[in-house]
Structure 1
Amino acid sequence: MASSTDQRICFSLCLFLFLFLHLSTSTTDTPIPAPWPEQFHSVLFINRSGTLQKTDLWYDWPNGRNFNIIQYQQGVLKYDLEWNNGTSFIYTLDPFNRTCKKLHFDVGILRPNWLEGAKYLGQEYADNFLCNVWEKADFIWYHEDVLTRRPVKWIFLTSGMVSHVMTFEVGAVLEDEHWQAPVYCFSKSEPEPRLHNIMSSSLLDLEAAGGDAHGFRQTLISEW
């Protein structure tokens, strides 16, 4: 017959094994969002409280640049060109009126690992895809396809803007000549506005503290 000491040792070992397996399983079972590829092209359909737009997003981290080409429904085509030094150009081209606004934000484009530290919310279907869902900074819900680990949809909680990811081409790069802002962006003598505490959004700036940077940027784009 086992002694009480042996029973205590056996119980302690079983308890340790249970806790170890529980913690290991919990860590393994909690999905982590995939970092963004360093270069990709994505077509987004965006609904902002009934205002619709199609955006071509060109993300190019190695070259420190991000480009949003925004077609409003039956409206103007606008270009939102962002650089990692904080400089941004929002402009239009022919056949629309030639307009350009040069801005400077406190930081540059999103890092590929911007989703680090996001809170896992579980799984749900989004646009007919089974997705893992995370919340980042009480600002955005990010849906990622369980099978391919590609983004499917993201929802901005403060503005209600919903982005549906229609295509996601990893490694696609826009030719260098398309990254040049038009000459009339450099023809004005007044200094560029510096927007402090508002960070460049590149559609998804989650590092802005205490504000909806993406909603702010969308307001800028729609007004100019």
Structure 2
Amino acid sequence: MKAMASTSGLLLLLAVVAGGTSVLTAAAAAAESPKPTPWPHQFHSILFVNYSGSLSLIDLWYDWTNGRNFNIVQDQLGKLLYDLEWNNGTSFFYTLDSTKECRSAQLDVGILRPNWLDGAVYLGQENVDGFLCNVWQKVDFIWYYEDVITNRPVHWVFYTGRSIHVMTFEVGAVLEDAKWQAPLYCFKKKDTQADYKLDVGYLEPQLQSILRASTQL
């Protein structure tokens, strides 16, 4: 009987140890899951955008240091549009051609923080655009792909299907201050405003406030 009791006790101990090891292994695996690299405080990037066959190029200047973000957007065979955003929530959408079109918007939050991907769920690795990438999902709206070797962003896609491909990524590049000034006609009151689409940036317009607000400290 004592031998049986000893054997049972040993088996129970082994089961507890094994269970504890499994818990520790799971915890270690979770702790070792890659985290998305925060964006540099200043960078310049060329983005190729495909939205259900509608193509555009975005000349993106991100400048967290000075609280500003600039998207210069060329739609395929379309207008050249400027989307200028400030960290106080003010945004201007305008052209610089003879039409002098301009609209402004005021959001409750400013530009995306460098750590806007904090809290994203790691999904594993996938080959995208010829790069092996770590993949994360953020608030069920965006899937973000980062090169495993260089930690540079490669691609992100929204639940709507808008797909962003990163063509260049220049860390530390800064656009000269004079280019950040919206034209004077943006500050003049008008009875009517030109009708053109405002979903011109690298984010879905309906998601900008959600993603920005989710990263405010």
Smaller-chain TM-score bracket = 0.7 to 0.9
Instruction: Return closer, same or farther for 1:25/1:137 CA change in 2, 3 Å cut-off.
Output: closer
What code does the residue aligned with 2:188 have? S
CA distance, structure 1, for counterparts of residue 208 and residue 17 of structure 2: 45
The answer (yes or no) to whether the contact 1:82–1:202 under 8 Å persists in 2 is no
Q: Which residue of the partner structure matches residue 103 of structure 1?
A: 105
Which structure 2 residues correspond to residues 33-182 of structure 1 after superposition, within 5 A? 33-94=36-97, 96-158=98-160, 160-182=161-183
Aligned length: 199
Pairing of 1:2-41 with structure 2 (within 5 A): 3=6, 7=10, 9=13, 12-28=16-32, 30-41=33-44
CA distance in 2, matches of 1:49, 1:18: 45
Which moved further from structure 2: 5-14 or 115-124? 5-14
Q: For the structure 1 residues 177 and 151, does the alpha-carbon distance in structure 2 shift closer, same or farther, using more than 3 Å as the test?
A: same
Q: Structure 2: where are the runs of 5+ without partners?
A: 192-198, 212-217
In structure 2, the CA distance between the partners of 1:151 and 1:13, relative to structure 1 (3 Å rule), is: same
CA distance in 2, matches of 1:18, 1:137: 29
Q: After superposition, what is the alpha-carbon deviation per residue over 1:139-189, rounded to whole angstroms, capped at 9, x for unaligned?
A: 11111111111111111112x111110001111111101000111111226
SS in 2 for 1:85: coil
Q: Indicate if the aligned counterparts of 1:110 and 1:201 stay in contact, CA closer than 8 A.
A: no
Q: Per-residue deviation at 1:31?
A: 1.4
Structure 1: stretches of 5+ with no match in the other structure: 191-199, 212-224
How many Å apart are 1:60 and its aligned residue?
0.5
Separation in structure 2 between the aligned mates of residue 113 and residue 43 of structure 1, nearest angstrom:
20
CA contact (8 A) 1:145 1:151 kept: yes
Quote the offset at 1:204 in angstroms: 3.1
C-alpha separation in 1, matches of 2:62 and 2:129: 23
Q: TM-score, normalised by structure 1?
A: 0.79
Query: Aligned with 1:24: secondary structure?
Result: helix
Whether contact under 8 Å (1:55, 1:71) holds in the other structure is yes
Matched with 1:184 is 185
Calculate the aligned-residue CA RMSD, in Å.
2.6
The one-letter amino acid paired with 1:170 is V
> Residue 221 of structure 1 aligns with which residue?
none
Letter in 1 for 2:203: L
TM-score under structure 2 length normalisation:
0.81
Q: Which amino acid aligns with 1:105?
A: L
Q: Which amino acid aligns with 1:48?
A: Y
On the 8 A contact 1:109/1:202 being kept in 2, the answer is no
Q: Deviations over 1:8-38 (max 9, x none)?
A: 556544543443234213321x211111111
CA distance in 1, matches of 2:31, 2:93: 43
Q: Is the 8 A contact 2:73 2:201 kept in 1?
A: no
Partner Cα distance (2:115, 2:75) in 1: 29
* Separation (CA, whole Å) in 2 of partners of 1:13 and 1:122: 29
On the 8 A contact 1:90/1:101 being kept in 2, the answer is yes
Secondary structure at 2:23 match in 1: helix
